[in-house]
Amino acid sequence: MSPAQTEILVYFRLLADDFSIEDVTNRLGIIPTETFKRGENSKHSSHPNEYTSWSLGTGYQPSFDVNEQLQHIIMQLRGKETILDAIYATYDDMQARFIIVIVMEEGQTPALGFDLETIQFVHRIRAEFDIDLYANPYEEDPDFKD
């Protein structure tokens, strides 16, 4: 059995109280990897969804650099900035987020840095970052001294 590897999941999410998932999908010309409507039972908890969401994600992938997964999503969104502006104008409570989930195994920590071009693009499409870190237990190096 191979040891567990650090994995990274990145997804871009549009969320609002209520909006047409079909409209957003058609405008962007991108098939989302996950959607849910406000009030429907959530896949991730026992509570109904509090908002409507459209997401484009990578799924969990073994990686030591967040930018590998982040750039994969950004590449699909480049050139869609004015379309996103129009979507935000139609649904005035729309929020955009890049969600990064890192599951670290055995102390294997990935690189987590953003270059200026990435920061400018994320700012241009009015998105925020949400970063979740999970560190699974590992044995500390007995020779390491703080």
Q: Residue 76 contacts by C-beta under 8 Å, 6 or more apart in sequence?
A: 30, 56
- Domain membership of residue 5 (yes or no) is no
Least confident of 37-41, 44-48, 73-77, 142-146: 142-146
Assess if residue 84 is contained within a domain.
Answer: yes
Whether 120 maps to a domain, the answer reads: yes
Instruction: Give 54-70 pLDDT, tens digit per residue.
Output: 999 999 999 999 999 99
State which residues form the domain around 121. Answer: 14-135
> Is residue 94 domain-resident?
yes
Mean pLDDT, residues 115-139 taken together: 92
The domain tally of the chain equals: 1
pLDDT the model gives residue 1: 40
What is the pLDDT at residue 16? 97
* Contact indicator for 7, 104 with CB cutoff of 8 Å: no
Alpha-carbon span 109 to 7, nearest angstrom: 10
User: Is 68 contained in some domain?
Assistant: yes
Average pLDDT, the chain: 91
